């Protein structure tokens, strides 16, 4: 259940990022690289197609998933977040704005025997 709490906290953190900006002298690539590193270090699997145009780093088909731990003989399955696009925009003042889509589907799944 601790891992589920971790995923819930991650989701809340992702939501907060969607309405705020990262304040520091950083680039869009640095913010995304740091976020990706922290997520993978905590057991999340990430896939996305990245491309950069002008001041914007765009992630297409971003999927963040996490395998939930087994509890007794009945596994809890997995949780995944799939986003069509996420944009990291370099601002002139050294901050980065993160733009999320309006709809952010979260899927809970469990393999059946």
pLDDT digits (tens, 9 = 90+) for 9-53: 455 455 545 444 445 588 999 999 999 999 999 889 999 999 999
Provide the residue range defining the domain that includes 31.
Answer: 2-108
Our CA dihedral for 83, 52, 55, 16, rounded to 10 degrees, sits at 20
Indicate whether 36 belongs to any domain. Answer: yes
Indicate whether 13 belongs to any domain. Answer: yes
Q: What is this structure's pTM?
A: 0.72
Indicate whether 85 belongs to any domain. Answer: yes
Rounded to whole angstroms, what are the CA distances from 39 to 47, 53, 93?
12, 25, 27
pLDDT (mean) for 73-96: 85
Please give the backbone phi and psi of residue 95, each rounded to the nearest 5 degrees, phi first: -100, 170
Indicate whether 73 belongs to any domain. Answer: yes
Cβ atoms within 10 Å, residue 79: 21
pLDDT at position 25 is: 85
Per-residue pLDDT tens over the stretch 44-68:
999 999 999 999 999 999 999 888 7
Please name the residue that has the structure tokens 């953190």: 13
Indicate whether 113 belongs to any domain. Answer: no
Distance from C-alpha of 25 to C-alpha of 102, rounded to nearest angstrom: 27
Distance from C-alpha of 109 to C-alpha of 111, rounded to nearest angstrom: 7
Indicate whether 52 belongs to any domain. Answer: yes
Query: What is the number of structural domains in the chain?
Result: 1
């Amino acid at each position: 259940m601790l891992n589920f709490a971790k995923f819930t906290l991650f989701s809340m953190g992702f939501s907060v990022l969607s309405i705020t900006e990262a304040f520091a002298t950083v680039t869009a690539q640095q913010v995304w690289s740091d976020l990706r590193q922290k997520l993978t270090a905590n057991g999340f699997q990430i896939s996305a197609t990245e491309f950069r145009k002008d001041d914007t780093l765009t992630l297409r088909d971003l999927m963040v998933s996490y395998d939930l731990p087994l509890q007794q003989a009945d596994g809890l399955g997995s949780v995944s977040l799939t986003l069509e696009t996420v944009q990291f925009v370099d601002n002139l003042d050294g901050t980065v704005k993160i733009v999320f889509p309006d709809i952010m589907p979260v899927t809970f799944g469990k393999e059946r025997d």
